Structure formats: C-alpha cells, structure tokens
C-alpha cells in the first residue's frame, strides 16, 4: 500500500537545462525547508497546528461513527449545506470512495444514505434538491465553521422553513449542525433548539477540515470507512516531518511546484486526474492551494502579490480539450498527474473479432489499462515537449490511500507557505468578499462598505445590450 510521487519530469535531466529544475535549485531550498520544518514542529508541539493530529482523534472519529451507524438506519438521504472548505472535502471523499452512481443505487446496494451537496445559492440547484429528497427521511447537515457565511445561512433558513412546514415539531431530528464548539450564531441556535451537533476545532481552518466531522460525518453517513480513511492519513504524519528534504514528499512536492513558478516561470499548476473518482479531489486541492498561497502580504508584512494558479483537469476527457494547449501553448504550466495503479473494478474490452486496425489493439485490454496508457502517453508527450510534469500514483483508490493523499497535500500546503513566505492558514481576500456581500444584502454594521460600493458602481459604466429574438 503506497502513494508514489514521480517527479523525474520536473528535472533538468528529463526536460532540458533550460526548462527543468536543476539540483542546485532544489538545494537552494534546503535551508528554507529546514526552517519551515522546525517551525512546524515547534508550532505543532505547542498545540498551534491541531490539523496535524486530526487522524489520531479517536474520540471524534468514534463519535461520528456511532452517530452515523444509527442515523444510516433511519435516513435514506443526507444533504450537506455548506460552501468552500465546508463542502469541497466532503465532495472529494464522496467522489473518490462511493460508487460513481451512488444516489441511483437501490438502498440494498448502497452502503449508506444518498448524498447531496448543493454548495451554492443558485435557486435552481437548491430547489432541485428539495424536489427530489423527502424531508421525512432526510438528514440535513448544516456545516459552517464561522457560523455566519451568507450562502450557508441562507440555505439553512430555507431548510429550517422547509422542515418545519413538512414535519411540524419533529423538524429538529432532521438537522445536525457542524460548527465552532463555542462561537457563532449556529452554535447558539443549536444550543437553544437542542440540536445534534459536531464541533470543528477552532484552530483548524475551513479548507483543512476534511478529516474533522465536516468530512467524516458525510463520509460515514454514505458508508465510507472513516477509520480506514484516518488510518491512511495518520501514516503520513511522521513522513511529513521527515528531516531529509528529498525523503519528505510533502516538502518536495511543495518545493518543486514553488520552483516551477519562481525559477522556471510556470505559475499555472494543473492537477490532471486520470480517474473520474479522483477528479473532485483535484477540485478540493484547487481551493486548498489557491486560498492558502494566493496572498498579497508575506509573513513579515511586505507586499508580494504571490501564489500559484491551480487548475483542475480530468483525463482522458481533457486530452480532447486542453492537452493541445498544455503541449504547445505558452511555457507557463506544470502538470501534476493523479492516477491509480488499480481501479475499483476491471472492465475488459471484449474481443468481437472485427479484424480492423482500429479495434484489434484494444480488444482484450482492460479499460483501466487504456486510461493509464493515456496518462503515461500524455506525460511522455509533455516531457518530450520540455513541459514540466510529475505524477502521484495511488496503489488503489480506497480509504487509506485517499486519506494519505489528503494528508500529503495538506502538509505540502504548509511547506509551500514556507517557500512562498506567506501564511497558508488565513484568507483575508475571501473575508473582504464576504463583508461586501453582507453590505449589499443590507446587514447592519456594514453600512460603510455599502456606501463605498455604491459610489464605485455609480461611476460611468460601459455596457452593451445584445437583443435576443424569441
Ligand atoms: O477555507 C476557508 O476558510 C473557506 O473556504 C471557508 O471554508 C468558506 O469560506 C466557508 O466558511 P464557513 O465554514 O465558515 O462557512
């Protein structure tokens, strides 16, 4: 059971002196790696970085497990109301570890509840979920660390109203709240209404919460083995503190992507999943990497305007959409392939004896073999064109491997914070947008923001209206 990080094609030996990262460039990061590692160890031992220990939190994992074991018996559907870090992790776990057509399986074939996560305030999306779930056998989980995110609070109000009108007094049994242990409107509401709750450690930021009840509860409710998931993640803690730079995959991954941007001019970093099940993980990583590293200020307060631009893609589908650009377009990208040595099932291509050159080489092969050949072929084409790329391969797409991958990428994000010299745990830019939304929607206390926005919008606008005939 392993993850494999093959970074050969990021190096000068593989893609040429001009394109690739030289050993001396990697060496130049060693000092920063050592300082970052010492700082992480110090902060971890003083309790500042609780997310490193989440997979060891037996008490929480068991509490979620036993709640879910009972609730799975009672409910047919589980709907998560949340956004950003409160939704992308749960969706990544669901995508990777449940049947790709989970919600369409019969109750017997599914191991747990149907799963819905409409992570937006698009009325068509939320309305559609309400069209297809029966409140009488649905458990709604409102998830917000801060307890005040406009999108989630709006969803919450709609659902409370929906439940009350359909179920009367029993509505409380259909709502479970995951939020800060003490603070915020939702904690207070849950206390008053005596709702079932789970807590998010106050020092674990939204996008690092996938191994807290934020991700564990929906996973357990849909039948994922969360003990195995956390065991896989736990195995990565020690590795992520390894003091040898080239034997510390989290630091190495971060260092290579940092150098790709800063030494080789490749700010666009594409996570190219060659598995539909791993694609939502690329989406989760996109948020983790972007929100953690895209920063105006450095840790010492100087202005940097730094950060990579993470992009997600899925193979082989995007070979027919993006790869032309990746192979021949501007030299501003580095590709991280995400693949599996073994897929969840084998699906052989039948031998129909058509005796055509277009079919002969495919007959008798397995579809997974074809997909992996396409991944290797795309990596080869990129390498030949002097394009930086690396590959993370999982032996299998199962709870331990997915847990390990999640932990690896979270630890890499902290090392990347050290290389980019930014605080990877805050998100002041997101907060500004949240405040502006409050202002536009008329929340009290945000009057000044509203005035500022109105005066900006009052300036002369250039708009073209394009008539459409009916
Ligand atoms: O990583 C983050 O902190 C954000 O993406 C949050 O997860 C997102 O804004 C939602 O916040 P909250 O969980 O407080 O509703």
Interval 217-233: pLDDT, tens:
999 999 999 999 999 99
Report pLDDT for 1. 87
**Strand locations in 224-276, DSSP E?**
268-273
Rounded to the nearest whole angstrom, what is the distance from the C-alpha of residue 206 to the centroid of ligand 1? 4
Alpha-carbon distance 295 to 423, whole Å?
8
Are 232 and 401 in contact by the 8 Å Cβ rule? The answer is yes
Are 434 and 32 in contact by the 8 Å Cβ rule? The answer is no
Rounded to the nearest whole angstrom, what is the distance from the C-alpha of residue 147 to the centroid of ligand 1? 10
Are 197 and 176 in contact by the 8 Å Cβ rule? The answer is yes
What would the pLDDT profile of 387-446 be if each residue is shown by its tens digit? Answer: 999 999 999 999 999 999 999 999 999 999 999 999 999 998 888 888 888 898 889 999
Where does CATH 3.40.50.10490 sit in the chain? 3-42+235-420, 50-226
Alpha-carbon distance 217 to 11, whole Å?
41
| Nearest Cα to Cα of residue 13 among 2, 1, 24, 21 | 21
For a mutational test of ligand 1's pocket, the pick from 81, 84, 154, i.e. the residue with the most ligand atoms closer than 8 A to its C-beta, is 84
**Pocket, ligand 1, Cβ cutoff 6 A:** 83-86, 144-146, 149, 152, 205-207, 291, 427, 430
| Nearest Cα to Cα of residue 366 among 382, 346, 339 | 346
Report pLDDT for 463. 85
Report pLDDT for 453. 84
Alpha-carbon distance 470 to 452, whole Å?
39
| Nearest Cα to Cα of residue 305 among 316, 313, 294 | 294
Residue entry with tokens 């497990």: 65
Q: What is the dihedral of CA 141, 144, 149, 150, to 10 degrees?
A: 0
| Cβ burial, residue 364 (10 Å; 0-12/13-18/19+) | exposed
Half-sphere exposure of 7 (CA within 13 A, CB side): 24
Report pLDDT for 302. 95
CATH of domain 3-42+235-420: 3.40.50.10490
Q: Which CATH number fits domain 50-226: 3.30.390.10, 3.90.120.10, 3.40.50.10490, 2.102.10.10?
A: 3.40.50.10490
Using CA positions, which residue lies closest to atom 8 of ligand 1? 84
Using CA positions, which residue lies closest to atom 2 of ligand 1? 206
Given 303, 320, 355, 358, which residue is catalytic?
Answer: 320
For a mutational test of ligand 1's pocket, the pick from 81, 149, 424, 435, i.e. the residue with the most ligand atoms closer than 8 A to its C-beta, is 149
Q: How many CB atoms lie within 10 A of CB 353?
A: 9
Using CA positions, which residue lies closest to atom 10 of ligand 1? 84
| Cβ burial, residue 464 (10 Å; 0-12/13-18/19+) | exposed
Q: Which atom of ligand 1 is nearest to the CA of 427?
A: 3
**Eight-class DSSP state of 349:** P
Q: What is the DSSP string of 48-113?
A: S-GGGGGGG-HHHHHHHHHHHHHHHHH-SEEEEE--GGGTHHHHHHHHHHS-TTGGGS-TTTSSS-
Q: What is the dihedral of CA 292, 295, 301, 303, to 10 degrees?
A: 160
**Eight-class DSSP state of 197:** E
- Mode of pairing for the β-strands spanning 295-297 and 138-144: unpaired
Rounded to the nearest whole angstrom, what is the distance from the C-alpha of residue 87 to the centroid of ligand 1? 9
Residue 330 Cα distances to 249, 267, 322, 327, 388, angstroms: 28, 11, 13, 9, 12
Residue 371 Cα distances to 200, 270, 312, 389, angstroms: 38, 18, 17, 18
Q: Is 320 a catalytic residue?
A: yes
Query: Please, which contacts does 156-159 make with residues 24 or more away whose CB atoms are closer than 8 Å?
Result: 156/81, 156/186, 158/126, 158/130, 159/79, 159/81
Rounded to the nearest whole angstrom, what is the distance from the C-alpha of residue 13 to the centroid of ligand 1? 41
Successive 10-residue mean pLDDT values, the chain, 470 residues: 96 96 97 97 94 96 98 97 97 98 95 96 97 97 94 97 96 98 95 97 95 98 98 95 96 98 98 98 98 96 96 97 98 98 96 92 96 98 98 98 98 98 92 85 89 81 87
Rounded to the nearest whole angstrom, what is the distance from the C-alpha of residue 209 to the centroid of ligand 1? 10
| Nearest Cα to Cα of residue 315 among 367, 252, 257 | 367
Q: Is 434 a catalytic residue?
A: yes
Report pLDDT for 460. 76
Total length of the chain: 470
Report pLDDT for 391. 98
């Amino acid at each position: 059971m392993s993850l494999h990080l093959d970074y050969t094609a990021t190096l000068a030996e593989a893609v040429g002196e001009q394109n690739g990262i030289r050993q001396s460039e990697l060496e130049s990061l060693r000092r920063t790696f050592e300082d970052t590692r010492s700082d992480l160890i110090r902060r971890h031992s003083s309790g500042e970085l609780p997310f490193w220990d989440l997979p060891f939190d037996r008490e929480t994992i068991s509490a979620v497990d036993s709640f879910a074991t009972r609730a799975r018996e009672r409910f047919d559907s589980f709907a998560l109301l949340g956004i950003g870090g409160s939704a992308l992790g749960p969706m990544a776990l669901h995508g990777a570890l449940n049947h790709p057509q989970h919600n369409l399986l019969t109750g017997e074939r599914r191991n747990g509840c149907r799963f819905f996560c409409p992570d937006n305030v698009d009325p068509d999306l939320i309305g559609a979920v309400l069209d297809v779930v029966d409140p009488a056998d649905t458990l709604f989980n409102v998830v917000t660390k801060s307890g005040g995110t406009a999108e989630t609070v709006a969803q919450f109000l709609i659902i409370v109203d929906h439940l009350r009108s359909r179920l009367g007094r029993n509505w409380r049994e259909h709502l479970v709240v995951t939020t800060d242990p003490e603070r915020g409107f939702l904690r207070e509401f849950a206390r008053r209404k005596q709702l079932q709750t789970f807590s998010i450690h106050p020092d674990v930021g939204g996008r690092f919460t996938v191994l807290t009840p934020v991700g564990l509860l929906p996973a357990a409710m849909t039948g994922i083995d969360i003990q195995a998931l956390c065991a896989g993640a736990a195995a990565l803690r020690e590795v992520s503190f390894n003091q040898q730079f080239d034997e510390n995959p989290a630091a190495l991954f971060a260092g290579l992507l940092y150098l790709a941007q800063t030494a080789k001019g490749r700010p666009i970093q594409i996570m190219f999943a060659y598995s539909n099940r791993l694609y939502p993980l690329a989406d989760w990583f996109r948020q983790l990497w972007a929100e953690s590293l895209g920063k105006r200020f450095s840790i010492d307060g100087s202005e940097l305007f730094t950060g990579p631009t993470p992009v997600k893609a899925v193979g082989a589908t995007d070979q027919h959409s993006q790869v032309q650009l990746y192979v021949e377009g501007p030299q501003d990208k580095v590709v991280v392939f995400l693949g599996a040595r073994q897929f969840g099932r084998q699906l052989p291509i039948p031998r129909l004896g058509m005796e055509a050159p277009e079919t002969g080489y495919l007959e008798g092969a397995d579809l997974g073999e074809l997909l992996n050949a396409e991944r290797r072929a795309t990596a080869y084409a990129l390498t030949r064109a002097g394009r930086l790329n690396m590959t993370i391969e999982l032996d299998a797409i199962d709870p331990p491997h997915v847990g390990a991958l999640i932990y690896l990428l979270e630890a890499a994000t902290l090392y990347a914070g050290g290389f980019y010299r930014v605080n990877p745990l805050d998100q002041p830019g997101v907060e500004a947008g949240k405040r502006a939304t409050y202002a536009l929607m008329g929340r009290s206390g945000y009057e000044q923001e509203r005035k500022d926005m109105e005066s900006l919008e009052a300036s002369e606008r250039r708009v073209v209206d394009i008539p459409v005939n009916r």
